[in-house]
A and B are shown apart, each in its own frame.
Chain A
Amino acid sequence: MASADDHGLVRGSGEKLLIARVEVAERLTTIFAVDPASTDPISVWLGQQPTFDDLPLRLFLDLAETAKTVVDVGAHVGTFSLPAATLGCRVIAIEGSPENARLLAIAKGLNNLERLEVVNAVASDRGGTQSFTAHGPWGHVSITGALPDIPRVDVQSVRLDELLRRRGLETIDLMKIDIEGYELAALRGLAEFLRTRSVAHIIFESNASMLENYGLAPQDLLKYLSDFGYQIYYIDRENPGSLVTIDPMFVQPDCVADYLATTSAPALERWAVAPPLRLAETLERVLECTTSDNAGFRRYAAKLLVEGPTWLRGWPESRDPLERLAEDENAEVRKIVTPTVVAARLLDPEPTAGHPRIEDTQESQDDSWDEAKTEHDPNPVSNHLYDSYRKRVGIAPMVKNIRAHRGLIKLLVRRDLTLRYRRSLLGVWWAMLHPMLNVLVMWLVFAHIFQIAVTDVPYVVYLLSGIIVFSFFSQAVQNVGASLVGSEGILMRLHVPSEVLSFSSALGTAANTAILLVPLLILQVAIGPGVSPALPVALLILTLALLFAVGTGLIVASVAVRFPDALTLTTVVTQLLAFLTPTFYPVDAIPFPYRWAILSNPLTHFVRLFRSAIYGGPLDSWRSWTVIGVLTAGSLFLGTRFFSRASRRAVVVMQ
């Protein structure tokens, strides 16, 4: 049948066939059948050379020594299948190209390998048929949108799960997958075996440029397998014998790389697990890839250097290679790098001076790479994420926003306090003096002209405590109410959550009024009734009054977005409330038929409880506590709901 030493051409039925006896991986000798007209590098090599060797093949054969069942997906002419079957394994070889499958079947006969089964099919995630393109060196599953005039054949499509189960197989000791970018579909069709981790070792190729044709990246393969609990090692071609530890976010430094996915690290004589690649090593390999003859490889490297992870970008080492890529013969490569190169030329005419080089870093691509990169990254990817689908309605997101903008709120409150009096003679002292003068006037009018008197406490203390609570409320309502309309200019131009502005104006008001607590305490000590131990309760009541005011103010603000005159109306209503609140008169002074009006005013309850706390009076009026509790919670709930909607509308409604 064959000519001298089984290495030569055989003519049969009018077509040529090359029979080659080749020593594989310095281990065993196998007979291959190849098409002499074929142009793929492996067929050409097998037709001319007496030996064949490849790093992943060595690992494959080392693992095959102890394996019983082996599956070879993308078997080609049998470089993996034939030696494995020679070693005595049961081998299922799956090959999409009908031509290669035929050659493999011939070789099976020549080698007398009973335990090798050749299946002409495409491993995929579905059954039926699949269009297969025999174009290019290896052939691949057809890519949608590719040139229509490339010859294609329809090939049977199988799910590996189904194919293996039909043969009664439950566990696979070793699998090799090399199908030019279609790996993920094949693995999806193997999901049942992977889920139970019934495939012990998988050696697979990841060809980034072919994967991209199917809209995938190497990380997609790594992630898919590691999600099933597989540990993945990068087969390092630079250091034969080392299996580099990686995580699924591993940045594949070369366009085509081989990996071992395994359920347990193999204990092999010639293979050792190596530490993760250093960042400098990674960049070095990417840069090497930029000098490849293959435009796809250069394209992959260019994309990594321009769009890849931040820690890989902007190093002085990349400067010259990028400049070269900007002059690349391939237009796509040029297009990827040109903006970066132009920008770099403008910014750093002297890139060598003073820049840290990646060489000097010791960080690796390992689990802690997130930290490693932030150290060198001038601008790491923050965890900011804006997704318009996430609804932000109600009180919880508002509280979160307010917390996140603490710094801004502090500045705005300080601005409110200082700006008002900045150009005046007394400066900030006005903040204290101004309300004090107000109180003085009221005291003169009511105590001396109207001769109003109260029992238990000096009138001025009574008056001041009432005024503090009332102005806490009324000013906060006014200011919060105006905050949305008043800051339109900012809301239309800057991304600031509107509740932050409203809250800061409430705090500013509160601070302004809280200054009055100082003279109140001084008066209490000076003219009685002394400082009460319930002072913290008084502060709690003030806080509740402020929250009630914020809630009410938010409702006003929401209405004012649509109707600015709501603000004027609020002024009138507050004026009315000022008279309905017992600030400057005792409740007893009101004739009984009208007292209900005073008691139904919620502020009366705030004022009463506050005074009780200040003078050390009774604090067990459950009716008052319930009223202020319910009102505070209710107004906050309604206010925040209305406000969420209104602040969205504030910017889209044109008056």
Chain B
Amino acid sequence: MNAIEVSDLSVAYRVLTDPTSSLKDYTFRLLKRQVRYERIWALREVTFTVPRGSIFCIIGPNGAGKSTLVKVLGQILPPSTGRVIVRGSSAVLADLGAGFEADLTGKENIVLYGAYLGRDPKLMRRDAEEIAEWAGVSAFLDVPLRAYSSGMLARLGFAIATACEPEVVLVDEVLAVGDETFRRRAVERLERLILHGSTAVVVSHGLDAVVEMANQVMLLESGRISELGAPSTVVAAYRERAEASEGQIERVTS
């Protein structure tokens, strides 16, 4: 059974060619027929499937559409065309701490953030101590969040999101924040989820261990799939391209 099925997905952002954000200006421009949108395609005709319980890794240069794809899978962005099916509860692990309230305490935030992710507040209250312990903030559980360091916030966000045991985990660059210890423990926690049957989609910049562990790797470039397959072949193709483009830059600068 596939956890994720994406067929012919395209996503466009709409950008005003001439940004007018006041109603008055807009009315004038409308009368003069000057209002124009431009569509910027972040993803074009993307098709792939991810079997349940596997690790799917997305790599590619900046602006390739990786984060957009994760947001579409996480139901944050609607597709412009094409179809997306995600089976099971999903959680996006990106921008950890979006939804945190600086004035609420750690415990209150655990409950609130969990509720944002669709978890029963009662269960979150029960698990709060365990979550805080993993994040290493047990001593700060009743302190407002404004007193937390950025590392504590990232750890807490990650701990809450993964404690919800999502069946599809969508990880966007969260492994890049924090120190080495945090990364190692975060990867371990993800692995535990996968071992228990979750499916993972991981965006990775660095060609790190996650890429090696993936069942499938997808190389995105300018919103299109340019390689999709086993880690070794896709990573080799990516390296080749990166080297080729570096060569070009050198030629231009020399």
Contact = CB atoms under 8 A, between A and B. Distances in A.
A357 B243 CA distance: 51
Interface in A619-655: 648-649, 651-655
Contacts of B192: 343, 347
Nearest to A345: B191
Nearest to A343: B191
Given A306-B53, A339-B55, A490-B98, A653 B104 contact: no
B15 A411 contact: no
A339 B120 contact: no
B248 interface: no
Interface string A376-415: 0111011011111100000000000000110110111001
B115 A407 contact: yes
A564 B215 CA distance: 45
A410 B78 CA distance: 27
B165 A378 contact: yes
A411 B99 contact: no
A310 interface: yes
Interface in B30-89: 51-55, 71, 74-80, 82-89
A135 interface: no
B213 interface: yes
Given A384-B167, A410-B121, A379 B197 contact: yes
A540 interface: no
B23 A565 contact: yes
Contact of B77 (A335, A344, A651): A651
A590 interface: no
B116 interface: yes
Contacts of A490: 98-99, 116
Interface string A304-317: 00110010011000
A426 interface: no
B22 interface: yes
Contacts, number: 165
B112 interface: yes
A562 to B, nearest CB: 8
Interface in A334-393: 335, 339-340, 342-344, 346-347, 377-379, 381-382, 384-389
Interface string A407-445: 110111001000100110000000000000000000000
Contact of A563 (B21, B89, B92, B213): B21
B165 A379 contact: yes
A655 B13 CA distance: 11
Nearest to B15: A654
- The CB with the most chain B CB atoms within 10 A, among A386, A422, A649, is that of A386
Interface in A38-63: none
B52 A378 contact: no
Interface in B106-163: 108, 111-112, 115-118, 120-122
B84 to A, nearest CB: 4
A34 B94 CA distance: 66
Given A384-B167, A563-B21, A419 B101 contact: yes
Contacts of B16: 653-655
Nearest to A501: B116
Interface in B196-218: 196-198, 213-215
A569 interface: yes
A563 B16 CA distance: 12
Contact of B85 (A381, A385, A559): A385
A306 B89 CA distance: 20
B32 to A, nearest CB: 17
Interface string B5-19: 000000111111001
Nearest to A387: B85
Nearest to B85: A387
Nearest to A495: B75
A573 to B, nearest CB: 13
A655 B88 contact: no
B246 interface: no
Contact of A407 (B94, B99, B104, B121): B121
Contact of A339 (B22, B23, B54, B198): B54
A493 to B, nearest CB: 3
Contacts of A346: 188, 191
A653 B12 CA distance: 9
A310 B197 contact: yes
Contact of A569 (B23, B84, B118, B122): B23
Given A389-B83, A493-B92, A651 B76 contact: yes
A494 B196 CA distance: 24
B237 interface: no
A492 interface: yes
A496 interface: yes
Contact of A648 (B78, B98, B101, B122): B78
B167 A494 contact: no
A339 B120 CA distance: 32
Given A384-B167, A404-B118, 14 more contacts: A307-B51, A347-B191, A385-B87, A386-B86, A386-B90, A387-B85, A407-B121, A408-B112, A419-B101, A422-B103, A648-B78, A654-B14, A654-B16, A655-B21
Interface of B: 11-16, 19, 21-24, 26, 51-55, 71, 74-80, 82-90, 92, 94-95, 98-99, 101, 103-104, 108, 111-112, 115-118, 120-122, 165, 167, 188, 191-198, 213-215, 230
The 8 closest A-B pairs by CB, nearest first: A493-B98, A408-B115, A343-B191, A386-B86, A388-B84, A495-B75, A384-B89, A563-B23
10 contacts: A342-B213, A343-B195, A381-B52, A386-B90, A388-B84, A389-B83, A412-B112, A419-B104, A490-B116, A494-B116
